[in-house]
Structure 1
Amino acid sequence: MTEKARNRLLSLLWLALAGAAAGAMAFSSIYLYLKPGLPSVESLRDIRLQTPLRIYSRDMKLIGEFGEKRRSPITIEQTPDMFIKAILAAEDDGFYSHSGVSIKGLMRAARQLVASGSIQSGGSTLTMQVARNFFLSREQRFIRKFNEILLSLQIEQELSKDEILALYINKIFLGNRAYGFQAAAHVYYGKDINELNLAQWAMMAGLPKAPSTYNPIANPSRALVRRNWILKRMLDLGHISQDEYKNSITAPVTARYHGRDLDLSAPYVAEMARKEAVDLFGDAAYTDGYQVITTVDSKLQDAARKALQHGLETYDGRHGYRGPEQRLDIELLADNDQLVDLLQEIPVLGGLQPAVVTAVNPQSLRVQLRDRRVVEIPWENGLSSIRPYISENARGARLKSADEMFVPGDVVRLRRVLISAEEVAEEQKAAREAELASAAEQLANTEVTEDPFSTPEGLDEEEALEQPQAREEWHLAQVPEAQGALVSLEPEDGAIRALVGGYDFRQSHFNRVTQAARQPGSSFKPFIYSAALENGYTAASIINDAPIIFEQTNLEDVWRPENDGGTFLGPTRLRKALYMSRNMVSIRLLQSLGLDRALTFAEGFGFERAKLARNLSIALGSSALTPLEMVRGYAAFANGGFRVEPYLLDQVLDVHGDTVYQALPLTVCRDCPAMGEDRGPEPEPIDLQSVQHEAVANAHEEEPLELRTLPVAPLSADEQARPRAPRAMSAETAFIMDSMLKDVVKRGTGRKALAMGRGDIAGKTGTTNGPRDSWFSGYSPHLATSAWVGFDANTPLGRNEYGGTAALPIWIDFMTVALDGLPERHLPQPDGIVTMRINPRTGLRTSRGGIFEIFRADRVPGRETYSNYPSIYSDGPDTPDTSNEQAKESLPEELF
């Protein structure tokens, strides 16, 4: 080497050293400048991945998910090894060898920058991506890149490779609101990440580079190219075999959007639970992965939804068909894509599908569904029964032809009906028997020319023996305009087992269980009657069912309350007055008790005094109350007299599964020392002398009361630790009221419930003027349930729509399912209850004849003598006169 060459080489070395020194100084300066602003890497150890709020039923069925980011964190141990290899092949195959920064990758990015003049790729390692995703923005600026490099070096010093990889797997955004690969697996394939195959893992591994560009749903062709490139990389790196590679690159793209599948339809419950969770945890409820476990039972919730929807549809069907929901321009029928788009915008309500009429025949309709299918609606599938709606009290004549009401372009609702294979077999059997009968009849009238036992002409024998298949039918329907609500509680602690706040949450978010304050009508009477029993009255006390007029300034100028139909029974026992729902008796009873005494007593059931009217109309249920308030009151009749508070949230778990909230509801404890009965001194019994025997009415002999009792289930150790429920009324009053409310079902306005075939159900109907509100609140000791039907606008329901016709069928449908398989349970008979034989017309004890009645031992009525009421006997002092036809028990409908 010449001297000149040696000097040149030394110059280059010095320049290189100087450049390196300058670079080091520059890097150090940048480091010192940026270091104070860098976040603490230690915070990554305690990082809280934004995970949505999830709401579950008590049996862990998902009923709701709230939060902008769908995320399901998993550990590195839960992540399939082959999927990890796919990620590394796609993003950073040197992950386990570098120290957080890939010099090779950065040099490649620098060359692209020099060649193109703009940043093409960042040469980022997985560690750098973690730094960017957790701490930095995605803006392409040099200063951000330097921060990313520095943070990556720090992360590698503080965390292990597996910890870094776990953060990446759970944090990265992968499109369609999915953050992390477990959530993305559910979005794109509806499965856990460990349930996917190699081709699907490679497809998932291609998403981080550009979730919108390589999205297998939005851009399947480009996603396929990216997937196959990753598979080739895995082959080159020795992660997969040649056969695995060939099989995977030929696999079809199977990704499609999977919305979060809910296990149970309970949107009103989910919304209530969401609000309570936000009250507890604030906005963190949406991001910190809380799991709210409600008290709702999935079986009962599903039964409640179906019962309410069926009940409202049945009510709606009694009042006529209002016609198509809308009428489209007939030109739209030629544009199938636009037609489908329009149908997709119309929500499915109550399971009723929107469809467009495309052709009208005299005895059928041809309609198109939102999935492009065209189906036929025959005359018998809802068309033959159509009577046009005129008003709530009037319908038009039945249609004779479909074209009287429908034209092409009409938007209608259809109900899908699945006919099981067994039902199809029965239909085929009936049709075959009919054909054979027809053939036999023809044979009897004609000369025999062939085997009389052969298969009728046109019916292939092999076809007749073919295994029947299930089929679907579509029936014309309509979305009800009336609304309703149903709520069911556990009487022992107030746990809400089922709640439906309307026909369909998509139709209206207004929760009528908690928000619709409506007049309960006669279903409020049991609270007045129980106050009377607590204050000296008995079930045999006599009150006059006769007209009464009030002139009070706090009511109207003149108030003339009535019974339904304007009939009056005269002096009537309280038991009979309750199950026949006699308004005059209730008013006189309240008048005798006094408003303050009755209102104070009602407060013990949980009713707010401020919500109760301060006049005698409260005896007829004039105060506006919600179904939830009503069912809380009826729970006291179901549990033997204790006030419980309805609650929905049973438990809340954090993202790690640890309990952060546990409900402690007021719980009935019959064996505990008396609690909550200190409601002031025992009131003085009312002097009944002036109101007990104004007159005596005829009555017929009734069956003896059945007083079978079964012990209720004992409390568990957990329940015994809960705060004890206070008493709303004494055990004796609760027992007597229970027997009286059972008579509403046995003899009164709730007789339809006898179809359930149970002896442990009780309740009370309620109907308000109009009628505008229809109620049935009732219970078994297993469950207390209230059902309401009415219009949100408080318009009339129509003639003959009472508590027993509109609300009670819903209650029956639900309770039939809810009580299925449960044994009959009756309240235990408390000490101090006695059974006596009384004269049903006087309410006094009698030695023979009469009926049985139950009393508190300290409130047994006096014995009657002939001298007491000589005019009421026809054959002696102990022989009631039953000759008067007016004495026959009737089942009047209610005005209130």
Structure 2
Amino acid sequence: MQLYLNQVYFGQGAYGVQEAASIYFGKDIQELNLAESALLAGLPRAPNRYSPFVDVARAYRRRATVLYRMVDCGFITQDEEKETNYYPLPFEKHQLRKSQGSYFVEYLRQILEPKYGSYALFKGGLKIYTTLDLKMQKIAEKALADKLDEFDEIKKRESKEPEETELEEMGEVTERRVQGAIVALHPATGQIRVMVGGREFEESQFNRAVQAKRQPGSAFKPFIYTAAIDTGYTVVNPIEDSPVAYYNDGINWKLLSNTTDLSDIDPEIVKNINPENIWIPQNYKGTFRGRILLRDALAYSINVCAVKMLDRIRPTTAAGYAEKMGIKSPLEKTLSLALGSSVLTTGNNFSLWSAGKPGYQN
């Protein structure tokens, strides 16, 4: 029970009952009265839901439930229950010194606790050495917060409507803030130097750096060209950056046309193909360069060239190389893989390109 109370999450960034007492009441755990203790006892089940800083009425009801159970179990009298229910809830959060790298610390806990056990981790006096660079971490946390605030402000100005402005003045608009993540690795070793999993760990413990799934986009193209070179192509092999269209026969994507308007195909054939089964890859700027070298296709991240190369070596080959190089997430073995259509975690996206052992495998 002592171990549980020393590590369970109480909301508002508080892990352990001592930290919770400091944040909610500005007190040491031994100084808490019955009302304060009952409030904390009711938090772990749903810390944000029952927080007095989130919903006062719900917090009152939750504390009353705890007190009722204490009467039922014989710990307090009904008179004590009644008196304690009138005790006010805290309305001001007491700030602790903000710690850096909270998402990284929690990431480590999730790795170490199953391996060494709770007692050894929290009571065993372990010394844990990490590769996090606190100077870089501080800069990254501020940079992410500043840029997300800037983005939110721009979107707020762009999307504000008259009705929303009125509601905002009445205080009835709930602010929705965009989230983000940063992962920085040492290029030679793959060591984690920076990890920011979101705006504020106190607000959301979901670590977007290692838990959120996102499409890697063009970051997947090096896998394709690595597989191509390993199967006989060279960096000076020519490849056509020109229009192309594919159709799905129900099993695979196959070449349909070397145009974007399908003008080189018999109209009767096109009529018999479901438009949803036709895919016409596009370059970012919608233009084509003609014949270029393989190395330039990669350097300029040209979509059409990546798709054509993947069609030549086949998606299963590229997916196999990606898996050998550390990708653990399932990959859809289709031509859209060239554009990074399969989802990966942020950490997995970037750790693969370090020279050393990846910091993540997911």
TM class, shorter-chain normalised? 0.5 to 0.7
Match of 2:185 among 480, 489, 507: 489
The residue type equivalent to 1:617 in the other structure is S
8 Å contact 1:605–1:632 — kept in the other structure?
no
User: Secondary structure of the residue that 1:578 maps to in structure 2?
Assistant: helix
Aligned to 2:358: 645
**Deviation at residue 308 of structure 1 after TM alignment:** 1.5
Q: Confirm whether residue 621 of structure 1 aligns to residue 351 of structure 2.
A: no
User: Secondary structure of the residue that 2:307 maps to in structure 1?
Assistant: helix
**1:69–1:311: structure 2 CA closer, same or farther, 3 Å change rule?**
closer
User: Secondary structure of the residue that 1:550 maps to in structure 2?
Assistant: strand
**Deviation at residue 404 of structure 1 after TM alignment:** 7.4
Aligned to 2:108: 273
**Deviation at residue 624 of structure 1 after TM alignment:** 0.6
**Deviation at residue 544 of structure 1 after TM alignment:** 0.7
Alignment length (residue pairs): 266
Match of 2:171 among 369, 390, 410: 410
Aligned to 2:272: none
**1:283–1:405: structure 2 CA closer, same or farther, 3 Å change rule?**
closer
* Pairing of 1:833-844 with structure 2 (within 5 A): none
User: Secondary structure of the residue that 2:247 maps to in structure 1?
Assistant: coil
User: Secondary structure of the residue that 2:214 maps to in structure 1?
Assistant: coil
Alignment deviations for residues 217-249 of structure 1 (CA, whole Å, 9 cap, x no partner) = xxxxxxxxxxxxxxxxxxxxxxxxxxxxxxxxx
Alignment deviations for residues 656-687 of structure 1 (CA, whole Å, 9 cap, x no partner) = xxxxxxxxxxxxxxxxxxxxxxxxxxxxxxxx
User: Secondary structure of the residue that 2:277 maps to in structure 1?
Assistant: coil
The residue type equivalent to 2:235 in the other structure is A
**1:542–1:510: structure 2 CA closer, same or farther, 3 Å change rule?**
same
TM-score by length of 2: 0.62
The residue type equivalent to 1:410 in the other structure is G
Aligned to 1:311: 147
**Deviation at residue 630 of structure 1 after TM alignment:** 0.9
Aligned to 2:303: 583
8 Å contact 2:315–2:337 — kept in the other structure?
no
The RMSD of aligned alpha carbons is: 3.8
Q: CA–CA distance in 2 between the matches of 1:515 and 1:212?
A: 37
Q: Confirm whether residue 561 of structure 1 aligns to residue 281 of structure 2.
A: yes
Match of 2:225 among 502, 526, 529: 529
Q: CA–CA distance in 1 between the matches of 2:335 and 2:238?
A: 19
Q: Confirm whether residue 605 of structure 1 aligns to residue 325 of structure 2.
A: yes
Higher relative contact order by CA 8 Å / sep ≥ 6: 1 or 2? Answer: 2
**Deviation at residue 481 of structure 1 after TM alignment:** 3.0
8 Å contact 1:52–1:287 — kept in the other structure?
no
Q: CA–CA distance in 2 between the matches of 1:481 and 1:283?
A: 35
Structure 2's unaligned 5+ residue stretches are: 8-12, 34-92, 254-275
8 Å contact 1:525–1:619 — kept in the other structure?
yes
The residue type equivalent to 2:310 in the other structure is L
8 Å contact 1:268–1:509 — kept in the other structure?
yes
8 Å contact 2:283–2:302 — kept in the other structure?
yes
Aligned to 1:296: 132
Q: Confirm whether residue 282 of structure 1 aligns to residue 117 of structure 2.
A: yes
Choose 1 or 2 for highest CA Rg: 1
The residue type equivalent to 1:513 in the other structure is A
8 Å contact 1:483–1:503 — kept in the other structure?
yes
**1:533–1:317: structure 2 CA closer, same or farther, 3 Å change rule?**
farther
**1:212–1:309: structure 2 CA closer, same or farther, 3 Å change rule?**
closer
Structure 1's unaligned 5+ residue stretches are: 1-47, 54-63, 71-174, 178-185, 189-206, 214-256, 322-386, 391-395, 398-402, 413-477, 649-896
8 Å contact 2:348–2:360 — kept in the other structure?
no
* Pairing of 1:708-723 with structure 2 (within 5 A): none
Name the structure where strand makes up a greater proportion of residues: 1
Q: Confirm whether residue 633 of structure 1 aligns to residue 352 of structure 2.
A: yes
8 Å contact 2:186–2:193 — kept in the other structure?
yes
The residue type equivalent to 1:278 in the other structure is E
**1:570–1:299: structure 2 CA closer, same or farther, 3 Å change rule?**
same
Q: CA–CA distance in 1 between the matches of 2:16 and 2:123?
A: 6
Aligned to 1:457: none
Aligned to 1:516: 212
The residue type equivalent to 2:241 in the other structure is D
Q: Confirm whether residue 504 of structure 1 aligns to residue 217 of structure 2.
A: no
Q: CA–CA distance in 1 between the matches of 2:306 and 2:223?
A: 10
Q: CA–CA distance in 2 between the matches of 1:482 and 1:560?
A: 32
Alignment deviations for residues 566-589 of structure 1 (CA, whole Å, 9 cap, x no partner) = 322221222332333221100111
**1:602–1:644: structure 2 CA closer, same or farther, 3 Å change rule?**
same
**Deviation at residue 65 of structure 1 after TM alignment:** 8.2
* Pairing of 1:138-537 with structure 2 (within 5 A): 211=31, 261-262=97-98, 264-284=99-119, 285-319=121-155, 321=156, 387-389=157-159, 407=169, 410=171, 481-537=177-233
User: Secondary structure of the residue that 1:484 maps to in structure 2?
Assistant: coil
Match of 1:596 among 298, 301, 316: 316
The residue type equivalent to 1:496 in the other structure is I
Q: CA–CA distance in 1 between the matches of 2:209 and 2:153?
A: 24
Q: CA–CA distance in 2 between the matches of 1:529 and 1:594?
A: 12
8 Å contact 2:21–2:32 — kept in the other structure?
no
Alignment deviations for residues 476-512 of structure 1 (CA, whole Å, 9 cap, x no partner) = xx96632221101123332211111122223322211
Alignment deviations for residues 312-359 of structure 1 (CA, whole Å, 9 cap, x no partner) = 22333332x2xxxxxxxxxxxxxxxxxxxxxxxxxxxxxxxxxxxxxx
**Deviation at residue 287 of structure 1 after TM alignment:** 4.2
**1:577–1:551: structure 2 CA closer, same or farther, 3 Å change rule?**
same
Q: CA–CA distance in 1 between the matches of 2:131 and 2:305?
A: 39
Alignment deviations for residues 684-733 of structure 1 (CA, whole Å, 9 cap, x no partner) = xxxxxxxxxxxxxxxxxxxxxxxxxxxxxxxxxxxxxxxxxxxxxxxxxx
8 Å contact 1:52–1:289 — kept in the other structure?
no
Give identity over the alignment, percent: 34
Q: CA–CA distance in 1 between the matches of 2:137 and 2:175?
A: 21
User: Secondary structure of the residue that 2:142 maps to in structure 1?
Assistant: helix
**1:616–1:508: structure 2 CA closer, same or farther, 3 Å change rule?**
same
Q: CA–CA distance in 2 between the matches of 1:631 and 1:529?
A: 17
**Deviation at residue 546 of structure 1 after TM alignment:** 1.6
Q: CA–CA distance in 2 between the matches of 1:548 and 1:50?
A: 60
**Deviation at residue 289 of structure 1 after TM alignment:** 4.6
Q: CA–CA distance in 1 between the matches of 2:191 and 2:14?
A: 22
**Deviation at residue 517 of structure 1 after TM alignment:** 1.4
8 Å contact 1:524–1:619 — kept in the other structure?
yes
User: Secondary structure of the residue that 1:611 maps to in structure 2?
Assistant: coil
8 Å contact 2:351–2:360 — kept in the other structure?
no
8 Å contact 1:50–1:288 — kept in the other structure?
no
Q: CA–CA distance in 1 between the matches of 2:6 and 2:166?
A: 52
Q: CA–CA distance in 2 between the matches of 1:551 and 1:50?
A: 57
8 Å contact 2:133–2:194 — kept in the other structure?
yes
**1:313–1:50: structure 2 CA closer, same or farther, 3 Å change rule?**
closer
**Deviation at residue 266 of structure 1 after TM alignment:** 2.2
TM-score by length of 1: 0.27
